[in-house]
Structure 1
Amino acid sequence: MSAHGGPNFLGWHRTYLVLCENAMREKVANVTIPYWDNTLEEALPVPRQSILFSPLFMGTANGQVTEGPFAFWSTPFGPLGRDVGSDRRLMNPNDISAIMSQSIIADITNPNAPEATNMEELHNDVHVYVGHIMSRIESASYDPLFYCHHAFIDYLWEEFRTNQRMRGIDPSRDYPRIVGEQAHQPLASMGLGRLLVIDGINDIFTRRIYRYERRPACVPNSNTCGSQYLRCDWSRQRCVPLIMNQNGPNMPQAMGQTGPPVQVLPWWARQGSNANTNQNQFVFG
């Protein structure tokens, strides 16, 4: 299987996300996998204090997950847990700029890409940063954050492909000649149904199956970034998540803001008849 260690890292995970989303839609027709732009948390002094790791969203950042929709999940590797911030790092705007400055997929994937633009290596750092189950290949997919993380990597790849088209490069024909491991050869089996490795760079995914909303950006004459969960840090012109304060994880507040904290209902509690509160059967979306 060619999920790691070569240029099919991107195409394999793109295909895997589509298959997972389709499987979830057999349970909930309109469910989608959101992406986690981890550069938002990177902008915080203490990323684990982000509202992302509150009961409103992903739950506990350090230790067993005991809050939120994924509380007390069990996995074949033990209870769902995290150790956010214990090792490695999140991505930052410079990483993204470096990736977007490249021209072909060989510039951003193993075995040819330098460390600064190697999307697989940058993605590995985030896995290890979240820690615990997410830090190991064999167990990472048991943390729902896995899918959001990979959706962001896929989002960045699609931005890269858009840039390629603007440069006159056809991304559906951009597969390296030097691929390293045999499993990454273009006509090798992807290991997902009947698909071949070369199918992973086909344009059909984002032309016929799904598309992405743009990353959050500061809104002029406003303190928001188009979301009630984000605020704009105008000193850096960067969007940052609300943070949890001393009053408890249900009480997020904006960095640098005074006044009473904002009380927000969990996103999964606002789904009406589509909400599934059974923790062992929760459908991520």
Structure 2
Amino acid sequence: MRKDAATLTAAEKRRFVNALLEVKRRGEYDEFVRTHLAYYSSDGERGLRTAHMAPSFLPWHRRFLLDLEEALRRVDSSVTLPYWDWTRDRKTTSAPWTADLLGGNGRRSDLRVTTGPFAYKEGNWTIRVGVTEGEFLTRDLGRRADPIGLPAKKDLEWALKEPAYDVAPWDSTVTRGFRNRLEGWGTGRGSASWRNHNRVHRWVGGVMLSAASVNDPVFWLHHAFVDLQWQRWQRRHRGARYLPAAAPGSGDEQHGRVVSRRETLPPWDVTPEQLEDVGGTYRYA
């Protein structure tokens, strides 16, 4: 059972944090960062796209979340991933930004997080894999110099009402389809072009702005909420499936670049179809 972070008891928070810190201490956590870095590829790059700007954005991160959850449960079998409902908990001091969970905002001078269990000064959360040489966790909640707001319920509804999972050309340019409306690659420039999932990364700021966003533990709570939206979309549109059902043909510009429903989803030996229904594995409270 995955619970709303705002409803966790003090004991549940402590167990979750301690399990995360132990996964980090064992060196396993940095492997998750490396995996996300390796599979973060954009429309402009050649080859297969799996984690972002592609239909497999949702099943890829679903499998990624399960891997982390399994690592946590090897430490403490009572732990499950919580989720952050950013349509409701919208303040920089609300869940999950409390000292007993993820800690708070970064300081103004260098964005370094100085509160909570993942603060650099605690000695348990040194960043070793990233896109810069920085060793400490950084955040700029709400982007103080140029404020940006979190997505609202109406923004999620705009995505959830879409009847098709995804549409050609299966990339960041599509304006229809649930996947990209949730992933959040929009048209135009600046803040208005960042929707839902992408906008949350921008709102948190700091390391969440890069392909090494996994270095902020909020990554998992954010993506658990994104995963919950996929379940909600499936319930609303009964019978709607992951698309494309078949791989784009040899004359298609996306040939060999996106994963179809029954193709293996790297780096795992699993297909999007196998990840469409996880009801027997976990539920959301």
For the criterion TM > 0.5, the same-fold answer is yes
Per-residue deviation, 1:82:
0.6
State TM-score, norm by structure 1: 0.63
Residue 91 (structure 1) aligned with residue 165 (structure 2): no
Match runs of 1:5-16 below 5 Å: 5-16=53-64
- 1:22-68 CA-partner distances (Å, limit 9, x unpaired): 111111112100111111233xxxx2232532313211212222222
Aligned partner of 2:154: which letter? N
Residue 25 (structure 1) aligned with residue 98 (structure 2): no
Query: Comparing both structures, which one devotes a greater share of its residues to strand?
Result: 1
Kindly indicate whether the alpha-carbon contact (under 8 Å) linking 1:83 and 1:131 is maintained by their aligned counterparts in 2.
yes
Residue 211 (structure 1) aligned with residue 283 (structure 2): yes
- 1:102-149 CA-partner distances (Å, limit 9, x unpaired): 112116x74534499611112111112101111101x10111100000
Give 1:74's aligned residue. 126
The SS at the match of 1:94 is helix
Distance between the aligned counterparts of 1:81 and 1:141, measured in 2? 12
Give 1:149's aligned residue. 222
The SS at the match of 1:189 is coil
Which structure has the greater CA radius of gyration? 1
Residue 120 (structure 1) aligned with residue 186 (structure 2): no
Q: How has the CA–CA distance of structure 1 residues 212 and 181 changed in structure 2, closer, same or farther, with 3 Å as cutoff?
A: farther
Q: How well do the aligned residues superpose, as a CA RMSD in angstroms? A: 2.6
Distance between the aligned counterparts of 2:271 and 2:112, measured in 1? 39
Distance between the aligned counterparts of 2:171 and 2:283, measured in 1? 26
State TM-score, norm by structure 2: 0.63
Q: How has the CA–CA distance of structure 1 residues 200 and 211 changed in structure 2, closer, same or farther, with 3 Å as cutoff?
A: same
Moved more, 27-36 or 192-201: 192-201
Per-residue deviation, 1:19:
1.3
Kindly indicate whether the alpha-carbon contact (under 8 Å) linking 1:59 and 1:70 is maintained by their aligned counterparts in 2.
yes
Distance between the aligned counterparts of 1:208 and 1:192, measured in 2? 23
Distance between the aligned counterparts of 2:115 and 2:197, measured in 1? 26
- Out of 78, 85, 104, the position equivalent to 1:60 is 104
Residue 136 (structure 1) aligned with residue 210 (structure 2): yes
Kindly indicate whether the alpha-carbon contact (under 8 Å) linking 2:158 and 2:181 is maintained by their aligned counterparts in 1.
no
Kindly indicate whether the alpha-carbon contact (under 8 Å) linking 2:162 and 2:177 is maintained by their aligned counterparts in 1.
no
The SS at the match of 2:75 is coil
Gaps of 5+ in 2: 1-38, 40-49, 185-195, 249-253
Q: How has the CA–CA distance of structure 1 residues 7 and 51 changed in structure 2, closer, same or farther, with 3 Å as cutoff?
A: closer
Per-residue deviation, 1:181:
6.6
Q: How has the CA–CA distance of structure 1 residues 123 and 181 changed in structure 2, closer, same or farther, with 3 Å as cutoff?
A: farther
Kindly indicate whether the alpha-carbon contact (under 8 Å) linking 1:106 and 1:113 is maintained by their aligned counterparts in 2.
no
The SS at the match of 2:265 is coil
Per-residue deviation, 1:74:
1.2
Give 2:243's aligned residue. 175
Q: Percent identity?
A: 29
Kindly indicate whether the alpha-carbon contact (under 8 Å) linking 1:190 and 1:196 is maintained by their aligned counterparts in 2.
yes
Distance between the aligned counterparts of 1:190 and 1:8, measured in 2? 8
Distance between the aligned counterparts of 2:165 and 2:177, measured in 1? 14
Q: Size of the alignment, in residue pairs?
A: 200
Distance between the aligned counterparts of 2:231 and 2:272, measured in 1? 17
